[in-house]
Amino acid sequence: MSAMLCLVAGALFCYVIVYYSVFRGARCSSSVKLNGKTAIVTGSNTGIGKTTALDLAKRGARVILACRNKGKAEAAAYDIRRESGNSQVVFMQLDLASFESVRCFAETFLKTEPRLDILINNAGVMGPGHTQDGFGMAFGVNHLGHFLLTNLLLEKLQQCGPSRVVTVAALLHRCGSADFPLLASKKDSVSGQSTWHNVRAYCNSKLFNVLFTRELANRLEGTSVTCYSLHPGVIYTELCRSMSLWLHLLLMPFAKLFFLDPEGGSQTTLYCALQEGIEPLSGRYFSNCAVQQVGAKGRDDALAKKLWELSERFTSIS
Protein backbone atom coordinates (compact mmCIF):
# COMPACT_ATOMS: atom_id res chain seq x y z
CA MET A 1 0.00 0.00 0.00
CA SER A 2 2.82 2.39 0.89
CA ALA A 3 4.52 1.62 -2.43
CA MET A 4 1.29 2.45 -4.28
CA LEU A 5 0.97 5.74 -2.36
CA CYS A 6 4.55 6.63 -3.22
CA LEU A 7 3.86 5.85 -6.87
CA VAL A 8 0.74 8.03 -6.91
CA ALA A 9 2.55 10.84 -5.07
CA GLY A 10 5.43 10.63 -7.53
CA ALA A 11 3.07 10.75 -10.48
CA LEU A 12 1.29 13.80 -9.06
CA PHE A 13 4.61 15.52 -8.39
CA CYS A 14 5.72 14.89 -11.98
CA TYR A 15 2.40 16.17 -13.31
CA VAL A 16 2.66 19.40 -11.29
CA ILE A 17 6.23 19.98 -12.49
CA VAL A 18 5.31 19.36 -16.15
CA TYR A 19 2.13 21.43 -15.95
CA TYR A 20 3.70 24.51 -14.38
CA SER A 21 6.91 24.39 -16.42
CA VAL A 22 5.47 23.47 -19.83
CA PHE A 23 1.71 23.84 -20.07
CA ARG A 24 0.69 26.60 -17.69
CA GLY A 25 2.64 29.25 -19.51
CA ALA A 26 3.82 32.75 -18.63
CA ARG A 27 1.63 35.51 -17.23
CA CYS A 28 1.18 39.05 -18.48
CA SER A 29 2.53 41.28 -15.72
CA SER A 30 1.64 44.64 -17.29
CA SER A 31 -0.01 47.12 -14.93
CA VAL A 32 -1.15 49.44 -17.75
CA LYS A 33 -4.49 51.17 -17.21
CA LEU A 34 -6.84 51.78 -20.14
CA ASN A 35 -9.16 54.53 -18.92
CA GLY A 36 -10.40 56.50 -21.92
CA LYS A 37 -9.28 53.78 -24.35
CA THR A 38 -11.49 51.58 -26.54
CA ALA A 39 -10.86 47.97 -27.48
CA ILE A 40 -12.64 45.55 -29.80
CA VAL A 41 -12.37 41.81 -29.11
CA THR A 42 -13.87 39.48 -31.71
CA GLY A 43 -15.34 36.19 -30.54
CA SER A 44 -15.47 37.45 -26.96
CA ASN A 45 -18.64 35.81 -25.71
CA THR A 46 -16.72 32.75 -24.49
CA GLY A 47 -13.27 31.21 -23.95
CA ILE A 48 -10.09 33.26 -24.13
CA GLY A 49 -11.90 36.09 -25.89
CA LYS A 50 -14.21 36.62 -22.94
CA THR A 51 -11.32 36.40 -20.47
CA THR A 52 -9.34 38.91 -22.55
CA ALA A 53 -12.29 41.29 -22.62
CA LEU A 54 -12.72 40.95 -18.85
CA ASP A 55 -9.09 41.89 -18.20
CA LEU A 56 -9.33 44.94 -20.49
CA ALA A 57 -12.55 46.00 -18.74
CA LYS A 58 -10.89 45.70 -15.34
CA ARG A 59 -8.22 48.10 -16.60
CA GLY A 60 -10.88 50.69 -17.40
CA ALA A 61 -11.24 50.27 -21.16
CA ARG A 62 -14.44 50.62 -23.11
CA VAL A 63 -14.75 47.10 -24.52
CA ILE A 64 -16.75 46.14 -27.60
CA LEU A 65 -17.71 42.45 -27.70
CA ALA A 66 -17.82 41.79 -31.44
CA CYS A 67 -19.72 38.52 -31.72
CA ARG A 68 -22.15 36.63 -33.92
CA ASN A 69 -24.52 35.23 -31.27
CA LYS A 70 -26.52 38.08 -29.72
CA GLY A 71 -27.87 36.13 -26.74
CA LYS A 72 -24.52 34.69 -25.68
CA ALA A 73 -22.70 37.98 -26.23
CA GLU A 74 -25.18 40.02 -24.21
CA ALA A 75 -24.94 37.47 -21.39
CA ALA A 76 -21.13 37.72 -21.56
CA ALA A 77 -21.27 41.53 -21.51
CA TYR A 78 -23.47 41.36 -18.41
CA ASP A 79 -21.01 38.97 -16.69
CA ILE A 80 -18.03 41.20 -17.54
CA ARG A 81 -19.75 44.39 -16.38
CA ARG A 82 -20.69 42.74 -13.10
CA GLU A 83 -17.25 41.25 -12.43
CA SER A 84 -15.19 44.24 -13.56
CA GLY A 85 -17.42 47.00 -12.22
CA ASN A 86 -17.05 48.65 -15.63
CA SER A 87 -20.32 49.66 -17.30
CA GLN A 88 -18.57 50.42 -20.60
CA VAL A 89 -18.79 46.87 -21.95
CA VAL A 90 -21.15 46.53 -24.91
CA PHE A 91 -22.12 44.02 -27.58
CA MET A 92 -22.01 44.80 -31.29
CA GLN A 93 -23.17 42.29 -33.91
CA LEU A 94 -20.38 40.80 -36.03
CA ASP A 95 -20.49 37.65 -38.13
CA LEU A 96 -17.03 37.14 -39.61
CA ALA A 97 -18.51 34.58 -42.02
CA SER A 98 -20.29 37.41 -43.85
CA PHE A 99 -18.55 40.33 -45.57
CA GLU A 100 -21.83 42.21 -45.38
CA SER A 101 -21.89 41.78 -41.59
CA VAL A 102 -18.25 42.87 -41.28
CA ARG A 103 -18.94 46.00 -43.32
CA CYS A 104 -22.08 46.74 -41.32
CA PHE A 105 -20.19 46.34 -38.04
CA ALA A 106 -17.40 48.67 -39.19
CA GLU A 107 -19.87 51.28 -40.45
CA THR A 108 -21.82 51.22 -37.18
CA PHE A 109 -18.67 51.33 -35.08
CA LEU A 110 -17.18 54.26 -36.98
CA LYS A 111 -20.44 56.21 -36.70
CA THR A 112 -20.94 55.63 -32.98
CA GLU A 113 -17.48 55.28 -31.43
CA PRO A 114 -15.02 58.19 -31.33
CA ARG A 115 -11.86 56.11 -30.96
CA LEU A 116 -10.22 52.70 -31.31
CA ASP A 117 -6.98 51.87 -29.51
CA ILE A 118 -6.81 48.07 -29.52
CA LEU A 119 -8.23 45.63 -32.07
CA ILE A 120 -7.97 41.99 -31.02
CA ASN A 121 -8.72 39.52 -33.82
CA ASN A 122 -9.49 36.60 -31.53
CA ALA A 123 -12.39 34.68 -33.09
CA GLY A 124 -11.59 31.38 -34.75
CA VAL A 125 -13.34 28.28 -36.05
CA MET A 126 -12.36 24.76 -37.03
CA GLY A 127 -14.94 22.81 -38.93
CA PRO A 128 -16.76 22.16 -42.20
CA GLY A 129 -18.97 24.42 -44.26
CA HIS A 130 -18.71 27.68 -46.16
CA THR A 131 -19.17 31.34 -45.38
CA GLN A 132 -22.02 33.45 -46.73
CA ASP A 133 -19.67 34.55 -49.53
CA GLY A 134 -18.74 31.00 -50.53
CA PHE A 135 -15.33 30.67 -48.89
CA GLY A 136 -14.16 27.72 -46.83
CA MET A 137 -15.17 28.38 -43.22
CA ALA A 138 -11.70 28.50 -41.63
CA PHE A 139 -10.26 30.57 -44.47
CA GLY A 140 -13.25 32.90 -44.56
CA VAL A 141 -13.63 33.47 -40.81
CA ASN A 142 -10.13 33.13 -39.38
CA HIS A 143 -8.39 35.09 -42.12
CA LEU A 144 -10.61 36.95 -44.60
CA GLY A 145 -13.14 38.24 -42.07
CA HIS A 146 -10.40 39.65 -39.87
CA PHE A 147 -8.49 40.95 -42.89
CA LEU A 148 -11.52 42.95 -44.00
CA LEU A 149 -12.37 44.12 -40.48
CA THR A 150 -8.83 45.37 -39.81
CA ASN A 151 -8.63 47.25 -43.10
CA LEU A 152 -11.99 48.93 -42.55
CA LEU A 153 -10.91 50.13 -39.09
CA LEU A 154 -7.32 50.99 -39.94
CA GLU A 155 -7.87 54.71 -40.43
CA LYS A 156 -9.49 55.00 -37.00
CA LEU A 157 -6.59 53.09 -35.42
CA GLN A 158 -4.13 55.48 -37.08
CA GLN A 159 -6.06 58.51 -35.86
CA CYS A 160 -5.92 57.24 -32.26
CA GLY A 161 -2.31 56.03 -32.23
CA PRO A 162 -0.34 54.68 -30.64
CA SER A 163 -2.67 51.73 -31.21
CA ARG A 164 -2.34 47.98 -31.74
CA VAL A 165 -3.75 45.12 -33.80
CA VAL A 166 -3.38 41.72 -32.13
CA THR A 167 -4.23 38.57 -34.09
CA VAL A 168 -4.55 35.20 -32.39
CA ALA A 169 -2.77 32.63 -34.55
CA ALA A 170 -1.46 29.25 -33.32
CA LEU A 171 1.63 27.07 -33.18
CA LEU A 172 -0.09 24.96 -35.85
CA HIS A 173 0.80 27.65 -38.38
CA ARG A 174 3.98 25.60 -38.82
CA CYS A 175 1.87 22.85 -40.39
CA GLY A 176 0.11 25.27 -42.73
CA SER A 177 0.61 25.88 -46.42
CA ALA A 178 -0.58 28.35 -49.04
CA ASP A 179 -1.84 26.87 -52.32
CA PHE A 180 -2.73 30.03 -54.26
CA PRO A 181 -4.13 28.30 -57.37
CA LEU A 182 -6.47 26.31 -55.08
CA LEU A 183 -7.44 29.46 -53.16
CA ALA A 184 -8.19 31.29 -56.39
CA SER A 185 -10.21 28.49 -57.98
CA LYS A 186 -11.99 26.91 -54.98
CA LYS A 187 -12.10 29.90 -52.57
CA ASP A 188 -10.61 27.57 -49.99
CA SER A 189 -7.19 26.36 -48.85
CA VAL A 190 -8.19 22.66 -48.98
CA SER A 191 -10.10 20.57 -51.50
CA GLY A 192 -12.42 18.58 -49.21
CA GLN A 193 -14.62 18.68 -46.09
CA SER A 194 -13.40 15.65 -44.10
CA THR A 195 -12.11 15.97 -40.54
CA TRP A 196 -8.57 15.81 -41.90
CA HIS A 197 -9.32 18.56 -44.41
CA ASN A 198 -10.83 20.70 -41.63
CA VAL A 199 -7.68 20.36 -39.51
CA ARG A 200 -5.51 21.24 -42.50
CA ALA A 201 -7.70 24.25 -43.30
CA TYR A 202 -7.33 25.46 -39.70
CA CYS A 203 -3.53 25.12 -39.85
CA ASN A 204 -3.48 27.02 -43.14
CA SER A 205 -5.64 29.80 -41.69
CA LYS A 206 -3.24 30.19 -38.77
CA LEU A 207 -0.34 30.54 -41.22
CA PHE A 208 -2.38 33.22 -42.99
CA ASN A 209 -2.82 35.02 -39.63
CA VAL A 210 0.97 35.13 -39.24
CA LEU A 211 1.54 36.26 -42.83
CA PHE A 212 -1.21 38.88 -42.58
CA THR A 213 0.42 40.37 -39.48
CA ARG A 214 3.81 40.41 -41.15
CA GLU A 215 2.57 42.23 -44.25
CA LEU A 216 0.40 44.58 -42.18
CA ALA A 217 3.48 45.60 -40.19
CA ASN A 218 5.38 46.25 -43.42
CA ARG A 219 2.57 48.49 -44.68
CA LEU A 220 2.26 50.32 -41.36
CA GLU A 221 5.97 50.96 -40.90
CA GLY A 222 6.52 54.52 -39.75
CA THR A 223 2.97 54.93 -38.43
CA SER A 224 1.68 54.83 -34.87
CA VAL A 225 -0.04 51.44 -35.35
CA THR A 226 1.79 48.24 -34.46
CA CYS A 227 0.62 44.67 -34.86
CA TYR A 228 1.44 41.25 -33.46
CA SER A 229 0.39 37.62 -33.95
CA LEU A 230 0.58 34.98 -31.25
CA HIS A 231 0.14 31.42 -30.10
CA PRO A 232 -2.14 31.50 -27.02
CA GLY A 233 -1.15 28.06 -25.76
CA VAL A 234 -2.94 24.75 -25.95
CA ILE A 235 -6.49 25.50 -24.85
CA TYR A 236 -9.61 23.38 -24.84
CA THR A 237 -12.42 25.80 -25.65
CA GLU A 238 -15.48 26.02 -27.88
CA LEU A 239 -13.15 26.31 -30.89
CA CYS A 240 -13.57 22.54 -31.26
CA ARG A 241 -17.36 22.56 -30.85
CA SER A 242 -17.81 21.41 -34.45
CA MET A 243 -15.50 18.40 -34.02
CA SER A 244 -16.95 14.92 -34.08
CA LEU A 245 -17.92 13.20 -30.83
CA TRP A 246 -15.06 10.72 -30.99
CA LEU A 247 -12.50 13.53 -31.28
CA HIS A 248 -14.03 15.27 -28.26
CA LEU A 249 -13.82 12.04 -26.25
CA LEU A 250 -10.22 11.53 -27.37
CA LEU A 251 -9.15 15.05 -26.42
CA MET A 252 -11.03 15.43 -23.15
CA PRO A 253 -8.67 13.50 -20.81
CA PHE A 254 -5.64 15.40 -22.14
CA ALA A 255 -7.55 18.68 -21.96
CA LYS A 256 -8.45 18.20 -18.30
CA LEU A 257 -4.87 17.33 -17.36
CA PHE A 258 -2.71 19.57 -19.51
CA PHE A 259 -4.53 22.23 -21.52
CA LEU A 260 -4.65 25.85 -20.36
CA ASP A 261 -7.84 27.34 -19.01
CA PRO A 262 -9.16 30.49 -20.75
CA GLU A 263 -7.39 32.79 -18.27
CA GLY A 264 -4.05 31.16 -18.97
CA GLY A 265 -4.76 31.20 -22.68
CA SER A 266 -5.41 34.94 -22.70
CA GLN A 267 -2.05 35.95 -21.25
CA THR A 268 -0.03 36.29 -24.46
CA THR A 269 -2.89 38.16 -26.13
CA LEU A 270 -2.88 40.61 -23.22
CA TYR A 271 0.91 40.87 -23.36
CA CYS A 272 0.78 41.84 -27.04
CA ALA A 273 -2.03 44.31 -26.42
CA LEU A 274 -0.55 45.97 -23.33
CA GLN A 275 3.17 45.43 -22.86
CA GLU A 276 5.18 48.61 -23.15
CA GLY A 277 8.35 48.66 -25.23
CA ILE A 278 7.48 45.99 -27.81
CA GLU A 279 6.68 48.46 -30.59
CA PRO A 280 9.97 47.69 -32.43
CA LEU A 281 8.76 44.07 -32.65
CA SER A 282 5.74 44.95 -34.78
CA GLY A 283 4.90 42.13 -37.18
CA ARG A 284 6.49 39.48 -35.00
CA TYR A 285 4.98 36.34 -33.49
CA PHE A 286 4.70 35.75 -29.74
CA SER A 287 4.16 32.78 -27.45
CA ASN A 288 4.39 32.49 -23.67
CA CYS A 289 4.54 36.29 -23.43
CA ALA A 290 7.77 36.44 -25.44
CA VAL A 291 8.73 36.90 -29.08
CA GLN A 292 9.32 33.60 -30.87
CA GLN A 293 10.60 32.44 -34.22
CA VAL A 294 7.91 31.42 -36.71
CA GLY A 295 8.09 28.63 -39.26
CA ALA A 296 9.93 29.30 -42.52
CA LYS A 297 6.71 30.01 -44.46
CA GLY A 298 5.65 32.53 -41.83
CA ARG A 299 8.83 34.54 -42.54
CA ASP A 300 8.30 34.69 -46.31
CA ASP A 301 7.61 38.33 -47.24
CA ALA A 302 6.79 37.43 -50.85
CA LEU A 303 4.22 34.91 -49.64
CA ALA A 304 2.75 37.49 -47.25
CA LYS A 305 2.46 40.08 -50.03
CA LYS A 306 0.82 37.60 -52.40
CA LEU A 307 -1.71 36.57 -49.73
CA TRP A 308 -2.49 40.24 -49.04
CA GLU A 309 -3.13 40.98 -52.71
CA LEU A 310 -5.38 37.92 -53.10
CA SER A 311 -7.26 38.88 -49.94
CA GLU A 312 -7.77 42.39 -51.31
CA ARG A 313 -9.40 40.94 -54.41
CA PHE A 314 -11.58 38.54 -52.43
CA THR A 315 -12.81 41.25 -50.06
CA SER A 316 -13.00 44.04 -52.69
CA ILE A 317 -10.67 46.25 -50.66
CA SER A 318 -9.06 48.77 -53.01
What distances in angstroms separate CA 220 from CA 65, 161, 164, 246, one per listed residue? Answer: 25, 12, 11, 44
What is the distance between the alpha carbons of residues 63 and 60, in angstroms, rounded to a whole number? Answer: 9
Fold of 30-315: Rossmann fold (3.40.50)
The model's pLDDT over 37-80, given as tens digits with 9 standing for 90+, comes to 999 999 999 999 999 999 999 999 999 999 999 999 999 999 99
Instruction: Name the band, by pLDDT with cuts 50, 70 and 90, for residue 265.
Output: confident
pLDDT at 237 over 60: no
> What are the helix and strand counts (H, E) for the chain?
12, 8
> What is the average pLDDT across 19-43?
81
202 belongs to the catalytic site = yes
What is the distance between the alpha carbons of residues 211 and 227, in angstroms, rounded to a whole number? Answer: 12
Beta bridge partners of 130: 136
The model's pLDDT over 278-309, given as tens digits with 9 standing for 90+, comes to 999 999 999 999 999 998 999 999 999 999 99
Mean pLDDT (the chain) is 88
Which of 98-102, 263-267, 287-291 has the weakest average pLDDT?
A: 263-267
Identity of residue 43: G
Is pTM beyond 0.85? Reply is yes
- Quote the radius of gyration of the chain (alpha carbons, Å): 20
pLDDT at 134 over 60: yes
The model's pLDDT over 139-158, given as tens digits with 9 standing for 90+, comes to 999 999 999 999 999 999 99
* Contact (Cβ atoms closer than 8 angstroms) between residue 118 and residue 40: yes
What is the distance between the alpha carbons of residues 270 and 61, in angstroms, rounded to a whole number? Answer: 13
Burial of residue 24, with CB atoms counted within 10 A of its CB: 0-12 exposed, 13-18 middle, 19 or more buried: middle
> What is the average pLDDT across 223-242?
76
Domain ranges of the chain: 30-315
Element spanning 39, H or E: strand 38-42
* Contact (Cβ atoms closer than 8 angstroms) between residue 229 and residue 116: no
pLDDT at 262 over 70: no
Q: Among 15, 202, 228, 271, which one carries the catalytic annotation? A: 202
